[in-house]
């Protein structure tokens, strides 16, 4: 959510930003907010003036009563009653206008960074750089679930019976490899100075609306029936929500956190909920990076975070590239974002495995996450998030890049200690 001062002082900037995101249908919201805000401030001033008038008149009534001027005092009381009625009307209108403004402010997109490329959708995202050496294969790489099934590592048929499409059972060495990746990711981030956290897996609605847009919520979140609770789609949600309505001491900044959680997603409208694939699913696990920092430090942390993801995949000998998300592909709260994509030898193309985002002060403004400077003034923090790794999607890249012609899988050196010293899965 942007600062309403921007709409008051520079509505054209807000409109230009909306156009850059190809959301012209939202342009009218800027004018509506401006109009409602002007009325809100006028009504609020009227209410304040009337309260002052009532306070002054109350003192006058007391003075009149002391002088024995009862009739004058009663007349003034009648006048003050009318003032009180008008104050109630003003307060009701204030609340109505506040809700109207907030409804619109929640869907007006954040101001994107000037460096973000302009484009309508993900087809216009821009490659930044490629990392690692692609392994040459002189034999075909099977589909990832075929690889896992031959290693007795996945059971999709049973999952369809118990849960439907988009679920799976991982078994044996594949299940162990899945856990090894997550444990290694945890230790990798701890070694880089991040504090390990396991957060709640459910959050309340006020946290949901604080960390994401309504459109994302509808397409992603599972609601717990009969309760004000949602299953998290990523640990970022509960990790940022942890600091709701908090003033964090400046000398504790930045907060650098790495969190583990299962994630649950409806994936409404998404392509790829397949009977056999595990690329896009309803349930998975993830290791995440979260940073809360001073505004002036957020872009430096953005660079550090995506580089951590690149380094993680390179430590497992998986080639990756970084892709700058264009304006039309940015979620409304994001200032800047890039994807890390892993190389798929089978498809001979890259596919998304991580996403790094700088959300500026959008989440902090919604959730009142602040710090206090040396001048004793409070300010909103910036929040950032980045995926370290999210198996089983990451398993696709790992299996394909380490596949041998006989169907076995080489275990990268970094994972071998987490696999009991095993060097290969047969």
91 has a pLDDT exceeding 60: yes
What is the mean pLDDT of the segment spanning 404-423?
Answer: 97
Structural domain ending residue among the three candidates 105, 131, 151: 105
Q: Are 411 and 405 in contact (CB under 8 A)?
A: no
What is the mean pLDDT of the segment spanning 289-312?
Answer: 98
- Exposed, middle or buried by CB within 10 Å (0-12, 13-18, 19+), for 4? middle
- Chain-centroid distance of CA 115 in Å reads 20
- Whether residue 87 is found in the same domain as residue 152: no
Give the total number of structural domains in the chain: 2
What is the mean pLDDT of the segment spanning 345-360?
Answer: 96
- Would 114 be classed as within a structural domain? no
What is the mean pLDDT of the segment spanning 326-351?
Answer: 96
Q: Are 116 and 325 in contact (CB under 8 A)?
A: yes
Tell me what pLDDT residue 268 has.
54
CA–CA separation, 306 and 299 (whole Å): 11
- Whether residue 17 is found in the same domain as residue 141: no
- Exposed, middle or buried by CB within 10 Å (0-12, 13-18, 19+), for 100? middle
Residue 83: pLDDT band (50, 70, 90) is confident
Length of the chain equals 426
- Would 38 be classed as within a structural domain? yes
Structure tokens at 384: 């950032």
- Whether residue 81 is found in the same domain as residue 175: no
136 has a pLDDT exceeding 60: yes
**Mean pLDDT, rounded, of the chain:** 93
274 has a pLDDT exceeding 70: no
What is the mean pLDDT of the segment spanning 326-345?
Answer: 96
- Would 416 be classed as within a structural domain? yes
- Whether residue 403 is found in the same domain as residue 286: yes
Greater model confidence, 274 or 21: 21
Tell me what pLDDT residue 156 has.
92
Q: Is beta strand 378-380 parallel, antiparallel or unpaired with respect to 255-264? A: unpaired
| CATH number of 350's domain | 3.30.930.10
Tell me what pLDDT residue 314 has.
97
Tell me what pLDDT residue 349 has.
95
Q: How many C-beta neighbours within 10 Å does residue 9 have?
A: 10
- Would 234 be classed as within a structural domain? yes
What is the mean pLDDT of the segment spanning 334-348?
Answer: 96
> Per residue in 1-43, pLDDT tens?
899 999 999 999 999 999 999 999 999 999 999 999 999 999 9
**pLDDT above 70 as % of the chain:** 97
CA–CA separation, 283 and 268 (whole Å): 14
- Whether residue 341 is found in the same domain as residue 411: yes
416 has a pLDDT exceeding 70: yes
272 has a pLDDT exceeding 70: no
Tell me what pLDDT residue 270 has.
52
Tell me what pLDDT residue 273 has.
45
- Whether residue 233 is found in the same domain as residue 366: yes
> Per residue in 305-315, pLDDT tens?
999 999 999 99
- Whether residue 60 is found in the same domain as residue 202: no
| Domain of 227, in residue numbers | 122-425
CA–CA separation, 220 and 53 (whole Å): 51
237 has a pLDDT exceeding 90: yes
- Whether residue 57 is found in the same domain as residue 137: no
| CATH number of 85's domain | 1.10.287.40
Q: How far is CA 239 from CA 171, 235, 289, 345, 385, in A?
A: 30, 6, 10, 35, 10
The backbone torsions φ and ψ at residue 166, rounded to the nearest 5 degrees and listed phi first, read 90, 10
What is the mean pLDDT of the segment spanning 149-173?
Answer: 94
Greater model confidence, 216 or 166: 166
- Would 115 be classed as within a structural domain? no
Residue 275: pLDDT band (50, 70, 90) is low
- Whether residue 79 is found in the same domain as residue 204: no
420 has a pLDDT exceeding 70: yes
Q: How far is CA 314 from CA 324, 325, 414, in A?
A: 19, 22, 10
Tell me what pLDDT residue 2 has.
92
70 has a pLDDT exceeding 80: no
- Whether residue 96 is found in the same domain as residue 176: no
Least confident of 274-278, 288-292, 344-348, 390-394: 274-278
Tell me what pLDDT residue 214 has.
67
Strands of 369-372's sheet, edge to edge?
246-249, 369-372, 378-380
- Would 110 be classed as within a structural domain? no
Residue 424: pLDDT band (50, 70, 90) is very high
Q: Are 318 and 342 in contact (CB under 8 A)?
A: yes
What is the mean pLDDT of the segment spanning 322-327?
Answer: 98
**pLDDT above 90 as % of the chain:** 83
What is the mean pLDDT of the segment spanning 213-236?
Answer: 87
- Whether residue 286 is found in the same domain as residue 384: yes
- Would 111 be classed as within a structural domain? no
81 has a pLDDT exceeding 90: no
- Would 247 be classed as within a structural domain? yes
Tell me what pLDDT residue 23 has.
97
- Whether residue 232 is found in the same domain as residue 329: yes
């Amino acid at each position: 959510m942007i600062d309403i001062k921007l709409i008051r002082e520079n509505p054209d900037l807000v409109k230009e930003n909306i156009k850059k995101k190809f959301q012209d249908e939202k342009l009218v919201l800027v004018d509506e907010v401006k109009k409602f805000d002007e009325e809100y401030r006028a009504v609020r001033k009227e209410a304040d003036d009337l309260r002052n008038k009532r306070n002054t008149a109350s003192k006058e009534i007391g003075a009149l009563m002391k002088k024995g001027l009862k009739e004058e005092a009663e007349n003034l009381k009648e006048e003050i009653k009318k003032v009180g009625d008008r104050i109630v009307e003003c307060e009701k209108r204030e609340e109505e206008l506040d809700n109207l403004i907030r409804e619109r402010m929640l869907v007006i997109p954040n101001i994107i960074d000037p460096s973000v490329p302009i484009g309508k959708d993900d087809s216009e995202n821009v490659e930044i750089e490629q990392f690692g050496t692609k392994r040459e294969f002189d034999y075909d790489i099977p589909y990832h679930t075929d690889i896992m099934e031959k290693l007795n590592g996945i059971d999709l048929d049973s999952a369809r019976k118990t849960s439907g499409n988009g679920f799976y059972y991982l078994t044996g060495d594949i299940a162990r490899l899945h856990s090894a990746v997550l444990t290694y990711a945890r230790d990798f981030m701890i070694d880089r100075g991040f504090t390990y956290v396991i957060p709640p897996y459910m959050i309340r609605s006020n946290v949901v609306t604080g960390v994401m847009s309504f459109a994302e919520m509808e397409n992603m979140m599972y609601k717990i029936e009969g309760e004000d609770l949602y299953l998290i789609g990523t640990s970022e949600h509960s990790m940022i929500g942890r600091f709701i309505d908090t003033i964090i001491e400046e000398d504790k900044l930045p907060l650098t956190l790495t969190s583990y959680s299962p994630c649950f997603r409806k994936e409404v409208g998404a392509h790829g909920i397949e009977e056999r694939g595990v690329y896009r699913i309803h349930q998975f696990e993830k290791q995440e990076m979260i940073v809360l920092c001073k505004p002036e430090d957020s872009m430096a942390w953005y660079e550090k975070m995506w580089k951590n993801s690149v380094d993680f995949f390179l430590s497992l000998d998986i080639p990756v590239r970084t892709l700058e998300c264009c304006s039309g592909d940015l979620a409304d709260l994001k200032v800047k974002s890039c994807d890390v994509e892993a190389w798929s030898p089978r498809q001979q193309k890259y596919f998304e495995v991580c996403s790094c985002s700088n959300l500026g002060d959008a989440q902090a403004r919604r959730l009142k996450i602040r710090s206090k400077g040396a001048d004793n003034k409070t300010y909103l923090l910036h929040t950032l998030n980045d995926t370290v790794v999210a198996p089983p999607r990451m398993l696709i890249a790992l299996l394909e890049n380490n596949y041998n012609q006989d169907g076995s899988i080489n275990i990268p050196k970094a994972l071998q200690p987490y696999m009991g010293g095993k060097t290969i899965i047969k």
